[in-house]
Amino acid sequence: MNILQFSHDHEDVRDRHFENRNASDVTAMHGDRTSGPEDIFSAGAASDAVTAAGPSRPGRAEMPYERFLSCGASSLTNAELLAIILRTGTKEKNATQLSREILGFFEEGSTDLSALHRMTLEDLKSIPGIGEVKAVKILSLAEISRRLVRERAASRLVFSSPSAVADYYMEQMRHLETETAVLVLLDNKMALLREEVLSLGTVNCTLLSPREIFLRALRWGAVNIMLLHNHPSGDPTPSGMDKEITERICKAGQILGIQLIDHLIIGDLSFTSLRECGCIPEQIPAYT
């Protein structure tokens, strides 16, 4: 057999493999025996994957998948949107009910999608009906949402604007359950050189070492620096320690010729600029 013939035969086998796999997916959607009155695929919606489906049965409420097609994504609840991703439930509960259980993992009855950002692979797999494949899908969905927000914020990121910087880091930091400090290194034109995680603290205390901060700044040739850290409580009000460490870093920076532009505290969809609060000495030049 020559190489070209082998290649054609190999492609035929591969094509048959994916055809069979796709067919089994359609069969699973159509024959999901765990479906209930709120499951994501009705018989009509499932058969639409193979042939054109007729109208919904008279007197029967549309399922999430059908309502997505007829009314759009905005017509669905958070649980129903997640159910479309999950596709199937279990013998005891359909996909929408399973989705509600996921969203209420930390707080029973909650329908807040922010739960997805806090969950780990182990958390998800502990829920009956969620195996590794579904858990990975859900975590991938959460990561996509974070990146969408970050990419949108990046398009208007200007380090001279506290609100623009806070928007850029908000989704990355507001879901963290321990205090995390980030050092942003900037050149003399306020362009980003590098960002580094400085410390992972306890739930209420992050230790920032001025020595470590300026060693990193000198290593990368930074002229300006910015600090950010989160408050897991969601309240960005600066503590006495936050103010004290900010003043120490300002003074050390003056000696070394490296300017602390700002220290931002990230809360839950809120932030505080310590420069705007007056915690950075006035002799440090303001934003330019």
What confidence tier does 43 reach under pLDDT thresholds 50, 70, 90? very low
Q: By three-state DSSP, how is residue 90 classified? A: coil
Where does the chain hold its CATH 3.40.140.10 domain(s)?
Answer: 159-273
pLDDT, averaged across the chain: 78
Distance CA 229, CA 232 (A): 10
Q: Which of 3-12, 118-127, 196-205, 222-231 has the weakest average pLDDT?
A: 3-12
Q: Are 168 and 157 in contact (CB under 8 A)?
A: yes
Distance CA 177, CA 204 (A): 10
pTM, 2 dp: 0.56
Superfamily of domain 159-273: Cytidine Deaminase, domain 2 (3.40.140.10)
Query: Which pLDDT score, from 0 to 100, does residue 146 have?
Result: 83
Query: Which pLDDT score, from 0 to 100, does residue 268 have?
Result: 92
Closest CA to 94 of 47, 26, 38: 38
Query: Which pLDDT score, from 0 to 100, does residue 5 have?
Result: 44
Distance CA 94, CA 112 (A): 19
